[in-house]
Amino acid sequence: MFRFALRRSAWAIPTLLLVTFLVYIALRMGTDPLASYMRSNPRATHTKIEQYKKLNGLGSNYVTGYFSWLKNFVTFNWPRSIKGSREVWPELKDAIANSARLGIAATAVGVSVGLGIGIFAALRPGGKRDVAVNTVAFVGISVPPYISAILLQLVFAVYWSKWFGNSLFPTSGVYPPGQDGFDLVLMIKHMALPTVVVAIQVIAVYSRYMRSSLLDVLNSDYMRTARSKGLSEFRILMRHGVRNALIPVITIAALDIGAIVGGLIITENIFDYPGTGKYFLSAFGNGDFPLLMPLMVIIVASVLLFNLLADISYAVLDPRIRLD
């Protein structure tokens, strides 16, 4: 087991290097970092330009350029942003923290509701509530996050205040302008709508996974054995049914991180929420190479990490899987 995990992890590092190399090439070709720098800093001196090129590894071909960028990256000698020459790390850190908060809240709500209604539907396949859950899941899959975001904004921000006189949930930012310091109630109010938008997607996907996985398990022989032993229905469902049904669901969950991050990026932009999504789109719009590269490294690393977790969790949870 341990050797399997070790071997898989060892593979992750060359993969990370290779993928960041490809991202480096794609960004260098796509955003043209030098031209964007000149556009944002038309009066930059020659030495400034040389320094910018050196820190980002833009001076030479792709391979040597990548390695000199990598050296600066791992020694934390990060270049400043093109626009406004800001430090990258504090900004990135805040963006990630905000996104993580939203992402975890939405995943927690989405997974618990999704698994719950998935189990609920699987208990009576073909019954009324199965059809209802199925329909809800289909609507959830078919409504893209920007549409649910717009409709929620329309209802809660515009029409709620028109009908009831006060706006229930604000539609942008983390705090109202002028607020400083921590305020839990305000924060939850601001996060409510974006959380719902992301959670809808999660619920739609997970209820279907859980339903089909649990249905497979419920039809298996060991369920009949458990019943013939005289265990209570609840115990059969929880200990033998749900636990086994969770194995494939967890694996898919770890692979789903990209979809959740993707949903976050879209949602944050609509709600003007200062997370990685806004960070990415504004940096991408400016062609801000120094801001983009660290974010891309973190995205690639987390995708690889969750891929790895999926593989390992699958092996740990299901003893029937042979590792070699």
Selected binder of other proteins within 100, 132, 154, 323 (CB under 8 A): 154
The CA distance from 315 to 322, in Å, is 8
Using CB under 8 A as the binding rule, whether residue 147 contacts other proteins is answered as: yes
Using CB under 8 A as the binding rule, whether residue 6 contacts other proteins is answered as: no
The CA distance from 235 to 227, in Å, is 10
Selected binder of other proteins within 84, 127, 176, 258 (CB under 8 A): 258
User: For residue 190, what are the CA distances in angstroms to 30, 42, 45, 265, 297?
Assistant: 35, 39, 44, 16, 29
Q: CB-based contacts of 67: which residues, under 8 Å, 6+ apart?
A: 57
Q: Which of residues 228-247 bind other proteins (CB under 8 A)?
A: none
What is the tally of helices (H) and strands (E) in the chain? 15, 0
Using CB under 8 A as the binding rule, whether residue 298 contacts other proteins is answered as: no
Q: Write down the least CB distance from residue 184 to other proteins, Å.
A: 27
Using CB under 8 A as the binding rule, whether residue 138 contacts other proteins is answered as: yes
Give whichever of 76 and 164 is closer to other proteins, judged by the CB atom: 164
Using CB under 8 A as the binding rule, whether residue 284 contacts other proteins is answered as: yes
DSSP 47-93: HHHHHHHHHHT-SS-HHHHHHHHHHHHHTT-PPPPTTTT--HHHHHH
Selected binder of other proteins within 13, 26, 100, 188 (CB under 8 A): 26
Selected binder of other proteins within 20, 31, 98, 267 (CB under 8 A): 31
The CA distance from 219 to 282, in Å, is 51
Q: Which residues bind other proteins (CB under 8 A)?
A: 15, 19, 23, 25-27, 29-32, 135, 138-139, 141-144, 146-147, 150-151, 153-154, 157-159, 162, 171, 255, 257-259, 261-262, 265-266, 269-270, 280-281, 284, 296, 299-300, 303-304, 306-307
